Structure 1
Amino acid sequence: MGKPTGFLEIERQESKIIDPLTRIQDFKEFHKPLSLEKQSAQAARCMDCGVPFCQNGQMIQGMVSGCPLKNLIPEWNDLIYHHHYQAALKRLLKTNNFPEFTSRVCPALCEAACTCSLNGESVTVRDNEQAIIENGFAQNLMIPQPPKQRINKKIAVIGSGPSGLAVADCLNHRGYYVTVFERDDRIGGLLMYGIPNMKLDKSIINRRIQLMKAEGIEFKVNSGIENKKQVNHLRKQYDRIILACGSRKPRDINVPGRDAKGIYFAVDYLSEVTKRYLSHQLYQSSFANTKDKNVVVIGGGDTGNDCVATAIRLGCKNVIQLEMMDELPCKRALNNPWPEWPRVKKTDYGQQEAIALFHQDPRIYKTTVKEFLKDDQGNLKQVVLISLEPKIIDGRMQMIPVDGSEKVINANLVLIAAGFVGTQEKIAQAFRVHLTPRGTVADTNYQTNQPGIYVAGDMRRGQSLVVWAIKEGREVARVVDKDLMGYSNL
């Protein structure tokens, strides 16, 4: 513990954030990191607890408390306090393959479990993590490290999201020949097309992919494996196959008027916007034209927030975000004590931008869509909203529509961000793997019902966080390694 009284003497200071009305003018990242000197001072706030809940990563009352990757947070906080950034990088990379991703998009489960947050503000763990990895790249410490010896076994990874990249990285460093198949035109999966550029600049992904290529991993884009003929060919070419295709089947809203023109799934909208942005054709596309439109986002999660921020940048006239559940309190309730994940109201970057631009919070709580109204040409023109109230039915709390609470609002564009319901059936059918009632691929310790075929990430556990996907990629890599070699040193 570098500075025993650091948490008493130094106030929390986060990375600087560009003003909302300024940052909505483009799709660039808007966090400006502190200097290494100031970041080191923030690391001095770490208490080096006897029980570091920040790295515990366990379930408490049905929610995760601490980092699922079990990052060695007190250790590298102490190292950067003493300005030993190179040593801190080594400790960070022992548990996390891609700190540059998690330090940008993870909701910081570690900070919520930080002991400092019990009676004050948590340590800036996420900012500290980003300072370590970005300094590593800036100082040319992140150089290719291909394995010195190769194992004469070939691994196919289907999907290049965070779980696919993590398993590929682990098994490549172990010495296997690894090929990653991606059905889109760019590597990254949801990192590339599911998260907007202002939240995760795509150059950050490309930088990592170039490093992985230099270490010997082969990437194949526009190479979806989606029929039995392709699968049979793959099984002949590779010793093991790992499915990491994500949970790509979006939950729909089945109400009258759903066929109206102007209703899109959020994942399709965000993906297309990013594709156009990277191709320098952002304002030349007619897909889901957003300018001067009344936008309704269905879903109050991270994806819904990303849709709000994207619609604002594309010049929407107004944006409303519907949330089925009730508004959370601003502070922890008595039945939600530390170190449980805090069930409190969070106003994210997109909502902050909507408040700054339109002078009101875009969220409407305990509300959903009852009907979509069309004009004579079949275009969406209005949405009928209905309020919801919680009710216990068969022992389960459900949100029930309130009769007579209907309200009609203007809407030209609706984005459905209601989550996902599992993997796409055609992929499961092609690989002949069984599905669970939740729509995820059934497994026993990452092994599917098909010999030599494994599964990891959202495809196995359902829609989740990037940090969980990386953890699953690391774990399935160990299982595959042990299966092939009889032991594993991963």
Structure 2
Amino acid sequence: MADPKGFLTTPRRLPPRRPVEERVHDWDEVYVPGGLLPIITAQADRCMDCGIPFCHDGCPLGNLIPDWNDLVSRDDWRRASERLHATNNFPEFTGRLCPAPCESACVLAINQPAVTIKNVEVAIADRAWESGYAVPKPPERLSGRTVAVIGSGPAGLAAAQQLTRAGHTVAVYERDDRVGGLLRYGIPSFKMEKHHLDRRLWQMRAEGTKFRTGVGVGTDVDAAELRARYDALVIAVGARAWRELPVPGRELAGIHQAMEYLPLANRVQEGDYDRPPITAEGKHVVIVGGGDTGADCLGTVLRQGAASVTQLDIHPLPGDERAEDEPWPTYPKIYRMSAAHEEARELAASPEADADARLFSATTVRFEGDAPGQGRPHGRVRALRLVGTGPEGRAEAPGDGRGERVLRADLVLLALGFHGPERDRGLFGQLGLELDARGNIARDASFGTGREGIFVAGDAGRGQSLIVWAIAEGRSAAAAVDRYLAGDTALPAPVGPADRPMTA
């Protein structure tokens, strides 16, 4: 390590965010441009170069974190970029979007604030682009083998890039009109501006990867016919089957799934709409769900000019410290405030909230609305009724209306998570795929489906997970495909299909 006392003398510092009143009026990333570089060398110095770096286990990619921390502290950005890209195809994505389980596993975090690992990561990635280090790496020779990748999210893109660099001819099929999956249409621009995605796609095209957009495999193209045209198939369609909220009044107009709402807002930024078909402008909004997707909805709602917004979380308000049953180095359930929650708190966007915009221990019991009319078979939502939630997640109210709380709601967004890939794609029947007990595509220890030459990567096989796991799965599935096509492989395989995050 460059400074053996860095972790003793230097406090943890995060990059400054732009003022709330400024950033809620645009869709740019929330951080001050250039605010990271003045502090990042000293932050990298806080890395202890500990004998057993548990950050390696916290990160499914196996990122060489102490190595590139040391190189950044020495201002050796080229070699830091080489170390970073050796394990991660898209560090500018993970550095912006990953919740950083590596930091929870940092040895320093046993009794001090962790090293700002993800900030060092994104600083290296951005510096690599600015300095011309992130050049295309086309293969020296082609194998003559072809691979189709279905889905262009982080797992599909990682698999495609690895296989292209190994010399195979790869085509990525995406049913949307643009490449990127949820990176394009699910993640708001204030969390990751799309030029970061576009320049990686430029790199991949320069390496030889082909992209076919607007093609739904299983609907527009028969999946079995596609398999017959290629030597191997990688399914990376994600886990897009959203969870429902089966309570009275769900049929009312104005209640939408988060993944119906967010893509439309993102399409405005792409220039497809002047105004989104579903907007929070001037409305009282309730977001049901306390996870990252709910926070994405919150930041979007604030930028669209909602009259008020409240986010419901079924879980109790977490504490600021690890619970005894969540010891280091596991990822703890502690109180975290995203940029969107900071915005809601400062703007006092929710007069009903316990903290920032959130109501904790809240269970929705029914929606209420006005009468049908003007061609609507159902009325429009006007209110949401909720009750408190007990420690085991059960409603505390007796169910007869006593103890219920009423929130005004002109727009309700359901952000309840996902339970596997969508079942109506046609993909499953055409390829003869089977589902496991959790509703994901069944696969073996080599990411195979039991069908010759067909592999599964990412959330489609794992279930809803983090971007860092998706990239790790894409890399591992690529190694399995390369071994299938070539008989052996030199590609890294950081995770197996059954691997899971560290838990107590």
After TM superposition, the score normalised by the length of structure 2 is 0.91
C-alpha contact 1:296 1:322 (8 A) present in aligned 2: yes
C-alpha contact 1:324 1:399 (8 A) present in aligned 2: no
Task: Report how far residue 402 of structure 1 moved.
Answer: 2.2
Matched, 1:409 2:407: yes
2:137 aligned to 135, 145, 151, which one? 145
Question: Residues of 2 paired with 1:485 and 1:440: CA distance?
Answer: 28
C-alpha contact 2:224 2:430 (8 A) present in aligned 1: no
1:376 aligned to 355, 371, 380, which one? 371
Counterpart in the other structure of 2:264: 272
**Aligned pairs for 1:80-229 within 5 A:** 80-227=72-219
Q: Secondary structure at the match of 2:394?
A: strand
Matched, 1:259 2:254: no
C-alpha contact 1:7 1:45 (8 A) present in aligned 2: yes
Counterpart in the other structure of 1:11: 11
Task: Report how far residue 268 of structure 1 moved.
Answer: 1.3
Task: Report how far residue 209 of structure 1 moved.
Answer: 0.3
Question: Residues of 2 paired with 1:83 and 1:229: CA distance?
Answer: 50
C-alpha contact 2:369 2:380 (8 A) present in aligned 1: yes
Question: Residues of 2 paired with 1:45 and 1:229: CA distance?
Answer: 52
Question: Residues of 2 paired with 1:79 and 1:375: CA distance?
Answer: 62
**Percent of aligned positions with the same letter in both sequences?**
40
Task: Report how far residue 336 of structure 1 moved.
Answer: 2.6
Question: Residues of 2 paired with 1:48 and 1:97: CA distance?
Answer: 24
Q: Name the aligned partner's letter for residue 303 of structure 1.
A: T
Distance 1:229 1:470, change over 3 A: closer
Q: Deviations over 1:299-357 (max 9, x none)?
A: 00000011011001000000011111111111122333222212211121111111111
Query: Considering only aligned residues, what root-mean-square deviation do their CA atoms show, in Å?
Result: 1.5
Task: Report how far residue 115 of structure 1 moved.
Answer: 1.6
Counterpart in the other structure of 2:464: 463
Question: Residues of 2 paired with 1:19 and 1:114: CA distance?
Answer: 30
Task: Report how far residue 3 of structure 1 moved.
Answer: 1.1
Counterpart in the other structure of 2:39: 38
Question: Residues of 2 paired with 1:75 and 1:234: CA distance?
Answer: 43
Question: Residues of 2 paired with 1:330 and 1:88: CA distance?
Answer: 33
C-alpha contact 2:15 2:36 (8 A) present in aligned 1: no
Question: Residues of 1 paired with 2:313 and 2:107: CA distance?
Answer: 31
Question: Residues of 2 paired with 1:336 and 1:326: CA distance?
Answer: 16
Task: Report how far residue 229 of structure 1 moved.
Answer: 5.9
C-alpha contact 2:255 2:412 (8 A) present in aligned 1: yes
Question: Residues of 1 paired with 2:261 and 2:396: CA distance?
Answer: 28
Counterpart in the other structure of 2:394: 399
Q: Name the aligned partner's letter for residue 265 of structure 1.
A: Q
Task: Report how far residue 460 of structure 1 moved.
Answer: 0.5
1:295 aligned to 259, 282, 285, which one? 285
Task: Report how far residue 220 of structure 1 moved.
Answer: 0.8
Matched, 1:53 2:45: no
Question: Residues of 1 paired with 2:39 and 2:187: CA distance?
Answer: 29
Task: Report how far residue 429 of structure 1 moved.
Answer: 2.6
After TM superposition, the score normalised by the length of structure 1 is 0.94
Q: Name the aligned partner's letter for residue 14 of structure 1.
A: L
Q: Deviations over 1:115-159 (max 9, x none)?
A: 222222111111111111111100111122211100000000000
Task: Report how far residue 401 of structure 1 moved.
Answer: 4.5
Question: Residues of 2 paired with 1:424 and 1:387: CA distance?
Answer: 32
C-alpha contact 1:288 1:413 (8 A) present in aligned 2: no
Quick check: 301-310 or 3-12, which moved more? 3-12
Q: Deviations over 1:144-200 (max 9, x none)?
A: 221110000000000000000000010000000000000011111111111111001
**Aligned pairs for 1:238-387 within 5 A:** 238-279=230-271, 281-282=273-274, 284-285=275-276, 287-358=277-348, 361-377=356-372, 378-387=379-388
Question: Residues of 2 paired with 1:42 and 1:152: CA distance?
Answer: 46
Task: Report how far residue 251 of structure 1 moved.
Answer: 0.2
Q: Secondary structure at the match of 1:409?
A: strand
Q: Name the aligned partner's letter for residue 226 of structure 2.
A: L
C-alpha contact 1:227 1:430 (8 A) present in aligned 2: no
Quick check: 108-117 or 160-169, which moved more? 108-117
Task: Report how far residue 35 of structure 1 moved.
Answer: 5.6
C-alpha contact 1:325 1:399 (8 A) present in aligned 2: no
Question: Residues of 1 paired with 2:222 and 2:337: CA distance?
Answer: 45
C-alpha contact 1:180 1:218 (8 A) present in aligned 2: yes
Distance 1:431 1:409, change over 3 A: same
Task: Report how far residue 375 of structure 1 moved.
Answer: 0.6
Quick check: 343-352 or 83-92, which moved more? 343-352
Matched, 1:72 2:64: yes
Q: Deviations over 1:21-80 (max 9, x none)?
A: 221111100113446453122111110000101112xxxxxxxxx111110000011111
- The structure where strand makes up a greater share of residues is 1
Question: Residues of 2 paired with 1:189 and 1:349: CA distance?
Answer: 23
Question: Residues of 2 paired with 1:100 and 1:430: CA distance?
Answer: 36
Question: Residues of 2 paired with 1:336 and 1:383: CA distance?
Answer: 34
Number of residue pairs the alignment of both structures matches: 473
C-alpha contact 1:434 1:449 (8 A) present in aligned 2: no
Quick check: 445-454 or 27-36, which moved more? 27-36
Question: Unmatched 5+ residue regions in structure 1?
Answer: 57-65, 392-397
Question: Unmatched 5+ residue regions in structure 2?
Answer: 373-378, 492-504
Question: Residues of 1 paired with 2:105 and 2:35: CA distance?
Answer: 23
Q: Name the aligned partner's letter for residue 464 of structure 1.
A: S
Matched, 1:422 2:420: yes
Question: Residues of 1 paired with 2:220 and 2:266: CA distance?
Answer: 31
Q: Secondary structure at the match of 2:407?
A: strand
Question: Residues of 1 paired with 2:278 and 2:106: CA distance?
Answer: 42
Question: Residues of 2 paired with 1:443 and 1:240: CA distance?
Answer: 15
Q: Name the aligned partner's letter for residue 442 of structure 1.
A: A
